[in-house]
Amino acid sequence: MKGRTNGHLLYCEVVHKIRGRVRIKSKALKYLGKLKNEVEKQLEQVRYIESAKISSVTGTVVIYFDDINVTDDNLIALIQNTLNVYLVEIYKNERAENSKNIVIERKLQEESPEEIIKKMTAAGILLIYNIFKKAPAAPVVGIKRLFNPNTLAVLSLAAPVISNGLGCLVKNKRPNADTLSSSAIISSLLLGKEKTALTIMIMEEFAELLTVYTMKKTRGAIKDMLSVGENYVWKVMENGSIQKVAIEEISKGDKIVVQTGEKISVDGVITKGEAYIDQSSITGEYMPVTKKVGENVFAGTIIKNGNITIEAEKVGDERTVSRIIKLVEDANFNKAQIQNYADNFSAQLIPLNFLLAGIVYGTTRNIQKAMSMLVIDYSCGIRLSTAAAFSAAINTAAKNGILIKGSNYIEEISKADTIIFDKTGTITEGKPSVQTIKLLDKNIGENKMLAYAAAAEETSTHPLAVAILNEVKERGLEIPNHTENKVIVARGIETEVGDSIIRVGSKKFMEENGISTDNSHDEVKVILGRGEILIYVAKDDKLIGLIGVTDPPRENIKRTINRLRGQGIDEIVLLTGDLEQQAQTIASRMSIDSYESELLPEDKARNILALQSRGSNVIMIGDGINDAPALSYANIGVALGSTRTDVAMEAADITITKDDPLLVPEVIGLSKKTVKTIKENFAMAIGINSFALVLGATGILPAIYSSVIHNMSTILVVGNSLKLLKYKLKN
């Protein structure tokens, strides 16, 4: 068999060949979906191919061809090039398929710790009653047992477990952990063993309590990290007076007054006043901005100076940050592959319990020994401890300013072998300053040229624009009146000042607009030779000046890269929209393996897909503003620093809210520790429960003690998972 690019999706191999006919296999062919016919037509348009038929089931394509000079490598290259065009859609389909959950378990997050404690208390009281009550003279057995008050009380407490267990069996034609527990509880009740049924319930509820408690703490830690607004606000009443009320009492359309130093608690529009507002927590702008009547403001932003009245448009769960919290809470229960493996593995063992119970009863005719096979199962320990481990890890991360959207991302980041960095705002501080100014038109002064550049950049929040605007402010220059600014992504900005068109941006931007840069070669060499970022400024069709901007590397970024290699990262790549000279300089200084420069946002996404197609597990680390496509397509997208835009929070899988890149290798370390803990839990749960099964089958252990051993093992592995709450990040 021959193959090329032995990696993830685009790997192809010839599985069968005769003269004029070949069958080629590729994983990508399984995920074409609606594109299958289109790809077949594409292949059939090739001169030497007579027909091409794709099977999505087997992931193969059968090609009939009439050119005896065509080699296997030619055909494989053709298929890979054809599939590469549809790689984005193929990758989406693969992700969707892999995320399907086939084992339906009861959602623990739907129950609160208080509810579980109430059930445990009620079950405990019933257990004490059953221990001390007098046995009836003529005990009732069989179905009649289910209709006395004592048994009905036990059944009512076990109703959620029984409902889910039997419901899963009916709807999904397969058992889950609750199916087995239901069988054990009902069997115990039919045999008059209420104490056994109650013991099973109390022990299982206690293990679930530990898991649910961890999930609740995790939600609290996330909310604390993303805390927004004040608990109380000043509401404008109908008579014009203001009154202090709880934030929960504010509805859409209400008006609130916010003053200097306070956090804004709603998303809305300013109806009165003006304020200088720090929006870094939402928009990523580290420079406060002036907001006036008619402009929008967001919950979680802080008024540095001024007083404003806001009409609430989004309150409560509709607010930007509240939506993000809800997004994280929902994603928290997206299962990782190892979690799906745990559920599937344990689900496959559940029928084994029923089979063992049948075999034991058939050979011994002892219902007690058979029941021991039903009260011992692997799924409870594996399922609960896995959920607890991931939830504890997310909690620990949140307490350290790291937002992880779900357990699947913890497992994914533990397997990463490639990291891609954005440059501006990620490797560098993202707070550049003007260092060099070169005039190319003797008729225009330095300040005039800077003012023109500021006019074009005035409405931009890009760090390079902020550098120019800061320089203008420091010089006390006035920005000339101008028309609306037009942004050309990854190229530059243009505006009109008077009768002139001002363009500010890259060399490519100048050339695309017919502006010659021939008169700037010497100055360009000087600026780039210093490692500065080069910005061209043009008026109409003439280049009038150059601006050199420096953006120093983040503190600890070099140490971060060294630690990443220690965590098993094989390849570190720099992808940037900056010029090659700047990319080369920073890549050399940081000892980065490779780089790509002058990229559009979609180019970064294509680079990531190319790496994934070769089998790499990719982490993309960006500032979250221009990197949303790349963050989405990476195996793991990480938004680093205070630039937590709404887009970043939705696109990134992990957001590090602190300006500390050393947290990147630390979160990888946390993920590896989490996966290691889960594997330890697997070993403990399987070992202890297998031992208890043997003792139960031989009659050494009665059913009630088998239940105790089984549930104690579940508590043990859940407790082992909770150690992750104390994991220390060495940032």
Question: What SS3 state is found at 684?
Answer: helix
Beta-bridge partner residues of 543: 538
Contact yes or no for 228/262 (Cβ under 8 A): no
Beta strands in 345-449 (DSSP E): 402-404, 418-421, 433-439
Mention every residue, 6+ apart, whose C-beta is less than 8 A from residue 407.
332, 333, 334, 335, 336, 339, 387, 390, 391, 393, 394
Please report how many Cα atoms fall inside a 13 Å half-sphere around the Cα of residue 727, on the Cβ side: 29
Q: How far is CA 77 from CA 69, 71, 84, in A?
A: 15, 10, 10
Q: How far is CA 341 from CA 344, 376, 560, in A?
A: 5, 20, 33
**Total count of residues recorded for the chain:** 731
Distance CA 312, CA 236 (A): 11
Q: Which two tokens stand for residue 45?
A: 């348009």
Distance CA 484, CA 472 (A): 19
Q: What does 101-137 look like in DSSP terms, one character per residue? A: --S----GGGS-HHHHHHHHHHHHHHHHHHHHSPPPS
Q: Would you give the DSSP letter of residue 538?
A: E
Distance CA 12, CA 26 (A): 5
**Count of other CB atoms within 10 angstroms of residue 594:** 11
Amino acid at 138: A
Distance CA 409, CA 610 (A): 21
Which residue in 178, 343, 377, 422 is the catalytic one?
A: 422
62 CB burial (10 A radius; 0-12, 13-18, 19+)? middle
Q: Which two tokens stand for residue 101?
A: 């959950």
Which one, of 661, 648, 483, lies nearest residue 572 by Cα?
661
422 is catalytic: yes
Contact yes or no for 660/556 (Cβ under 8 A): yes
Contact yes or no for 526/494 (Cβ under 8 A): no
Q: How far is CA 655 from the centre of its chain?
A: 8
Phi-psi region of 172 (alpha: psi -120 to 50; beta: other; left: phi over 0): alpha
Mention every residue, 6+ apart, whose C-beta is less than 8 A from residue 184.
197, 200, 371, 374, 375, 703, 707
Task: List the catalytic residues.
Answer: 422
